[in-house]
Amino acid sequence: MGTGHTERMVMAQLQGSHSGYRYDAFWSVQQDTVFWGAVISQDGHVMGRPKGQLQREAIDGDEVEAIRHVVATAIDKNVGVDAEADADQVS
């Protein structure tokens, strides 16, 4: 007998670079929402950890491209990224 439970969870990771920063992005899909986060670094120092969520229908099923876009936007707009981070500061 089925429980009617249809939730599907998918987790993924993407590494890349944008505007001189490196990033490790992670996301999970839970029903209709994509929860994402990233660790942004430059020259081996963590510069920020932006995160957020996207509605799955708004990204047309292409999670990878959507994550690339939101991470690049976070870097460009310094959202969750400290462009002036002190290299000696421990996060």
pLDDT by 10-residue block (mean), the chain, 91 residues: 60 94 94 93 94 89 91 89 47 34
Instruction: State how many domains the chain has.
Output: 1
Domain annotation covers residue 38: yes
Domain annotation covers residue 36: yes
Domain annotation covers residue 4: no
C-alpha closest to that of 14 among 55, 73, 67, 66: 67
Q: What's the CATH number where 68 sits?
A: 2.20.25
Instruction: Please check whether residue 36 is in contact with residue 65, taking contact to mean a CB–CB distance below 8 angstroms.
Output: no
| Structural domain of 22 | 9-76
Domain annotation covers residue 39: yes
Residue 50: the pLDDT is: 94
Domain annotation covers residue 45: yes
Give pTM, 2 decimals: 0.75
Domain annotation covers residue 3: no
- What letter represents residue 43's amino acid? D
